[in-house]
Amino acid sequence: MSRAKRHLQSALLVLVAVAVAAIAPACPEGNEDDDEITDYGTPPGTPLRRLGPAEWNNTVRDLFPVETLSRYDFPAEFAIEGFENNADFQASSALLVEAFREASVAVTEQALPQWIPQCKGNPDGTCARTFLLEFLPRAFRRPVSEEELSVYVDFWNSEEQQTYFMAAYHLTVQAVLQSPEFLFRLEFGTERGESGDRVRLTQYEIATRLSYFIWASMPDDALFADAEAGRLDDPDVLADHARRLLADDRARDALADFHRQWLELDDVLRIEVDGNFTPHWQRNIRFPMREAPLRWVEWLIFDGPGTLEALLTEDSAFVHRDTAGLYDVPAPNDEFERMTTPDRAGILMDPAFLAINSHPINPSPVLRGRFISERVLCNIIDPPPAGLTIFPPRAEDFAGQTTNRERYERSTDSPDCDGCHIPLHGLGFPLEGFDMLGALRSDDQGLPIDETGEITNGDVAGPITDRMELVRTLASSDQVRRCYAKQWFRYGWGRLDRYADNAIIDEVDGPFAQAGGDIQELLVAFVRTEAFRTRVVSGGE
């Protein structure tokens, strides 16, 4: 979701008093989780998923064993709650189908001259078959039937008669890359389970789920081998594979990309800041601002402490030479350098996050609070009632000198506003020490910064003294741990969670907590669930 749209839909803002009759905002009503409940009902049917832009590029990268392959720039996908792989909103369009065609042509033009079938020139006329026998199962991520094989062999041979070997090779591979078996993650399953609403996935479908969950790409040979051997029904075997995949470089980009979507980091490319209020602003810092948290998350998960707690509290950052001013540190010699940042800790104090959730001349405790509420605590806040004129409070509209915090407090000081704004402010105010670009500020227009806040509900409800206590408290929360898992569910299952999906969250939460909040182990826990190996065919809502 774009910055603009977030603004459009946000609960932001200062509700300027107009006649607001009978408004009863549906604001946080406490922790949705209840340890007593175990039967959550039937989740919705598993939707058919299509490869997204990153998945397509990663898959092609792994399908063709060539040295260099460029990435194709597909049209943007619609993001739902941040995630760009929501299968319920993945309908194909003319634009996309043409992009798939052009991309298949482009990739064959680049890859195939580097990867000429060894059988080329064999006089027996079986080269197409020889090549496809090996290529098709990898492209389709499962064994192919003789019938399927002959469709493509016949096509190749027919095209070769009209053209010549290399052209037919290109054309056949292009057809494979546009086929439903390549572009869609088809899951037919094997047999129905006892309850009748689920089918067990085939070994190859499980392998595919695993590789796309952790690599955003196709399975590798080891996964295919265990699929063929029928070992992937065993959660321990799957867990071993998951750890093996996590140890591979391909996981690094994929996990960083999850966080890009969760935090909607692309929105920082569209921020606009008033340079009169900060010496650090230039439009060209938007790119390194976006890049820095991605590098940091990758480091944190794979080379650093690796836990959710660290994601919220670790005190380092990747500083770019153009963004050093934001951190008040000397510019690094290299483009990026990881530095200790004693004044800030964790992803919620990352300049990109803070700047995205700000306005051009002032930080927004409402936007920051809303994000933390909805995406970190999983407490959804309703948008402001229609018909209210809402805008950030401006200094000139208040008598005397006021802080940003005071302006937000005063302009929402009404029973009509409290229901949403008290919880929002409680989460946002502790970050008031950061300006609209996420730079640390020691005062607010000469007035002292007040970082006190409050978490108004849930398992860690209580007053907060400052930003460090906020992130430490969040890091200690069971609710936050479950909410982070829920984000992974949305990404991993390709849909928004429903109430029934709490069963899966329950299942992964124990191992996640026992592993000290290790993010890689959370993914392993998801992989071990029965839901990971089954498909819901006739679900509820």
Site for other proteins in 214-273 (CB under 8 A): 269-270, 272-273
Phi/psi at 471 (nearest 5 deg)?
A: -70, -35
Q: For residue 91, state whether it binds other proteins (rule: CB under 8 A).
A: yes
Cβ 503 vs Cβ 528: under 8 Å:
no
Of 279-287, 338-346, 461-469, 511-519, the window that binds other proteins (rule: CB under 8 A) is 279-287
CB of 30 to other proteins, least distance (A): 18
**Binding-residue pattern over the window 140 to 169 for other proteins, x denoting contact by CB under 8 A:** -----------x---x---x--xxx-xx--
User: Token pair of 460, please?
Assistant: 């860690």
* Beta strands in 403-488, from DSSP E residues, in sequence order: 443-444, 447-448, 453-455, 462-464
Of 346-354, 387-395, 459-467, 503-511, the window that binds other proteins (rule: CB under 8 A) is 387-395
Q: For residue 516, state whether it binds other proteins (rule: CB under 8 A).
A: no
Non-local CB neighbours of 55 within 8 Å, separated by 6+ positions? 85, 212, 216, 217
Q: For residue 188, state whether it binds other proteins (rule: CB under 8 A).
A: yes
Q: Which of 30, 41, 113, 230 is in the footprint of other proteins by CB under 8 A?
A: 113
Q: What's the CA angle centered on 137, arms 134 and 139, to 5 degrees?
A: 100
Nearer to other proteins, 481 or 495 (CB): 495
Non-local CB neighbours of 514 within 8 Å, separated by 6+ positions? none
Q: What's the CA angle centered on 498, arms 311 and 312, to 5 degrees?
A: 10
* Interface positions, 338-367, toward other proteins (CB under 8 A): 359-361
Q: Which of 48, 222, 229, 247 is in the footprint of other proteins by CB under 8 A?
A: 48
CB of 116 to other proteins, least distance (A): 11
User: Token pair of 81, please?
Assistant: 């709650």
Q: Which of 67, 196, 236, 386 is in the footprint of other proteins by CB under 8 A?
A: 386
Q: Which of 15, 27, 28, 50 is in the footprint of other proteins by CB under 8 A?
A: 50
Q: Which of 56, 74, 131, 532 is in the footprint of other proteins by CB under 8 A?
A: 74
Of 101-109, 239-247, 474-482, 510-518, the window that binds other proteins (rule: CB under 8 A) is 101-109
CB of 335 to other proteins, least distance (A): 17
Of 205-213, 237-245, 307-315, 377-385, the window that binds other proteins (rule: CB under 8 A) is 377-385
* Interface positions, 8-27, toward other proteins (CB under 8 A): 8-9, 12-13, 16, 18-19, 26
CB of 329 to other proteins, least distance (A): 25
CB of 271 to other proteins, least distance (A): 9
Distance from the first to the final alpha carbon of the chain: 24
- Counting residues that bind other proteins (by CB under 8 A) gives 93
Q: Looking at this protein, which amino acid is placed at residue 3? A: R
Cβ 19 vs Cβ 514: under 8 Å:
no
Q: Which of 31, 178, 452, 476 is in the footprint of other proteins by CB under 8 A?
A: 178
Q: Which of 40, 72, 115, 336 is in the footprint of other proteins by CB under 8 A?
A: 72
Q: Tell me the C-alpha distance between 216 and 210, whole Å.
A: 9
Q: Where are the alpha helices (DSSP H) in 229-275?
A: 235-246, 249-262
* Interface positions, 312-331, toward other proteins (CB under 8 A): none
CB of 381 to other proteins, least distance (A): 12
Q: Which of 30, 70, 328, 463 is in the footprint of other proteins by CB under 8 A?
A: 70
Nearer to other proteins, 21 or 399 (CB): 21
Nearest alpha-carbon partner for 392 in 357, 423, 419: 357
Cβ 62 vs Cβ 220: under 8 Å:
yes
User: Token pair of 391, please?
Assistant: 């805008």
Q: For residue 116, state whether it binds other proteins (rule: CB under 8 A).
A: no
Q: Tell me the C-alpha distance between 251 and 43, whole Å.
A: 28
Of 382-390, 447-455, 478-486, 500-508, the window that binds other proteins (rule: CB under 8 A) is 382-390
Cα dihedral sign, 333-338-344-350: positive
Nearest alpha-carbon partner for 79 in 352, 216, 265, 210: 265
Q: For residue 108, state whether it binds other proteins (rule: CB under 8 A).
A: yes
- Give, for 508, the enclosing helix (H) or strand (E): helix 502-514
CB of 511 to other proteins, least distance (A): 29
Dihedral angle over CA of 47, 51, 52, 53, nearest 10: -170
Beta strand pairing call for 453-455 and 14-15: unpaired
Q: For residue 41, state whether it binds other proteins (rule: CB under 8 A).
A: no
Cβ 221 vs Cβ 233: under 8 Å:
no
Nearer to other proteins, 386 or 399 (CB): 386
Phi/psi at 432 (nearest 5 deg)?
A: -65, -15
Nearer to other proteins, 95 or 399 (CB): 95
* Interface positions, 397-456, toward other proteins (CB under 8 A): none
Of 222-230, 323-331, 380-388, 419-427, the window that binds other proteins (rule: CB under 8 A) is 380-388
Nearer to other proteins, 382 or 454 (CB): 382
Q: Tell me the C-alpha distance between 214 and 285, whole Å.
A: 30
Reduced to 3 states (helix: H, G, I; strand: E, B; else coil), residue 49 is strand
Nearer to other proteins, 174 or 341 (CB): 174
